[in-house]
Amino acid sequence: MIIDEIEIRVRYGETDQMGVVHHGNYALYLEMARTEWLRSLGVSYKEMEDQGVMLPVISMSLNYKKSAFYDEVIKVKTILKKNPTVKIDFDFEITNQKGEILVLANTVLAFINMETKRPMKCPKYILDLIPE
């Protein structure tokens, strides 16, 4: 299991008139967390694309527990529980500054060959970076 965590300060434009984060922004938070998870392994998403690999989201689920608010610092924990194959499956926990769980989420992404637009196995250079 590989875990990475990032902090995000909620911006005004991500909230409604009550200062509550709009539900659609959580997809962006998850993307930021996945990108930083890859970077923590030493893989840049841009470099991966330069090598002909896309990683589109094919499934996403979010379970909202509590609201996040404007100017609050939230933490997004990214968890990889099993080694990727043709797909990579992430669990997420988003918490507030008190450590309260705001959102539990999951995304599944597929490795796609940019040239053929077909699914492919996770590149070996990524698998090599994931501890056993």
> How sure is the predictor about 10, in pLDDT bands with cuts at 50, 70 and 90?
very high
Give me 121's structure tokens: 């196995």
Q: Cα(74)–Cα(9) distance, rounded to whole angstroms?
A: 6
Q: What is the pTM of this model?
A: 0.94
The per-residue pLDDT for range 12-53, each reduced to its tens digit, is: 999 999 999 999 999 999 999 999 999 999 999 999 999 999
Residues forming the active site: 16
**Structure letter (DSSP) for residue 91:** E
The per-residue pLDDT for range 48-96, each reduced to its tens digit, is: 999 999 999 999 999 999 999 999 999 999 999 899 999 999 999 999 9
Q: Cα(34)–Cα(37) distance, rounded to whole angstroms?
A: 5
